[in-house]
Amino acid sequence: MTKKYHFWISGCQMNYADARLISTRLEGLGYKPTPIAEEADVIILQTCTVRQKAEDKAFGRLQSLKPLKKLRPDLTLAMMGCVVGVKGDENLESKYPYVDVWMPPASDGAPLIAHILHGEDRDIDKAATSTRYAIQNEEVLLPSAEKGRLVSAPVAVVYGCSHACTFCVIPHRRGVERTRPVGAIVSEVRSLVEQGVKEVVLLGQIIDRYGKDIADGPDLADLLEQVHRVEGLERIRFLTSHPNYMTDKILHAVAGLPKVMPQIEIPSQAGDDDILREMGRGYTAEYYKDLVYKIRELVPDSAVHNDIIVGFPGETDEQFRRTYDLLAELEHEKVHVAKYSLRPGTVSARRMVDDVPDIEKRSRLQAIEGLQESVSRRKMADWLGKTVQVLVEGKTKGRWRGRSPQGKLVFFDDEREMRGDIVEALITHTGPWSMSGEAVGSRTPTAHRGDSISLTVI
Ligand code: SAH
């Protein structure tokens, strides 16, 4: 009987990119995916720890699988991602003895494969935890569930993070920054395109630091230029940028390379200088504002998105006000806001007191969400009556769903098969988070079938 695997994935896009590699390896062993955990022979939980809630969710899922594992001891149960971390955790291993395999973020799945093939037990992936390790694979095979269906694919380009934002646990979990070679990335993108992918989302915890851990290394602009040459690829996005590393050269590359979409994810996290300093962010509110204005000048029609943390230790009403005012002034197309969550091991957990009451955090969060809803609604309304180029990703509740160059969700009805097409849509309705319209023209991008384009690989 065919063996089956079940992937439970939570967290950021990096987790999806990491999971894809493991799925592919399992399928190489003849495994097929299943959405039903109970019928799987291998279950992998891909986890997140950025906030306490995410961590609780991961352990909740793990606990819920204990009876199943007891019933079927031959089932392989693997935990991977940020809950495990690059160092592994012996306490976890003794607390959850029914887990067979523990794998750090960006693992290529070697311990899981070894367990399946040879019954080797619970070994943290030493290769993946080495400071120089970055996956070098050049060819990827999409797992069967995604083949011919996946339009936009996440691709990791820089692993780990060496920044020391005081609130953030990610560097502790994902290890030091490791740039992946341009050649490996380009090869991966080419093989994705050969399998029907039209857009890649290049990922890094701080993507504008791409290449900065290598002496005389390439930078993000160089990488964008090389990825841009991949024939058959329609669109490129990248995230997340840090304000300190965004250069004019990168912005000129975004403006000058037509496949690179005008969407910049660049979190300020706060708008008060003292809080920014306590967070260890390395810039002031003034610097951030100037940068956003510059982005909008150099990359016309760009959508600039922000992430905000409210209720950082010691944040007063007045300091929160400054964050609110910054957002009111900048009018971002999108803002992601989260309540500060104390993460064990971080500087803010060790040296500061999580003293903003939850009810206050919630009211600050709601204030920003309320502000942003009206800003987003107003900005979206500017698209009414215009046509936008939509890359169609799939269907939701019977309607086609895709994204505009700025990353806005667009819905429309059409009888024709349009997945993977670039459709010109006339916008007839807008809300704060999405818009809808009708297809007035369409272009089916020509499929790229492994032809020979020569690439200058750095
Ligand atoms: N590298 C990016 C952030 C990626 S983490 C940067 O430098 O800005 C994704 C988001 O999770 C962050 O932007 C932040 O808003 C949020 N986040 C990280 N740690 C958090 C914490 N301890 N509590 C609440 N939100 C947090």
Say how many Å lie between the CA of residue 268 and the centre of ligand 1: 10
* Confidence band of 110 (pLDDT split at 50, 70, 90): confident
Confidence (pLDDT) at 108: 83
What's the whole-number mean pLDDT along residues 273-277? 98
Model confidence at 447: pLDDT above 50: no
Ligand 1 atom with the shortest distance to the CA of 242 = 7
User: Would 4-135 and 387-457 be classified into the same CATH topology?
Assistant: no
Atom of ligand 1 nearest to the CA of 308: 15
Q: Strand 387-396 vs strand 422-430: parallel, antiparallel, or unpaired?
A: antiparallel
334 three-state secondary structure:
strand
CATH superfamily, domain 4-135, is Methylthiotransferase, N-terminal domain (3.40.50.12160)
Pocket of ligand 1 (CB under 6 A): 50-51, 167-168, 170, 205-206, 240, 242, 267, 269, 307, 309, 338, 340-341, 343
Domain ranges for the chain, please list them. Answer: 4-135, 387-457
Q: Does domain 387-457 have CATH number 3.90.1200.10?
A: no
For residues 215-241, give the mean pLDDT. Answer: 97
Q: Which of 270, 98, 85 is nearest to 160 (CA)?
A: 85
Which of the four pLDDT bands, split at 50, 70 and 90, describes residue 315? very high
- pTM for this one? 0.93
Ligand 1 centroid – CA 189 distance (Å): 27
Q: What is the pLDDT of residue 451?
A: 35
Side-chain half-sphere of 209: how many Cα atoms within 13 Å? 19
Ligand 1 mutation target, pool 55, 309, 310, 332, most atoms within 8 A of CB: 309
Ligand 1 centroid from CA 150, angstroms: 27
pLDDT for 191-205, tens place per residue? 999 999 999 999 999
Contact 154, 17 (CB under 8 A): yes
Please name the helix (run of DSSP H) or strand (run of DSSP E) that holds residue 353, with its range, or none.
none
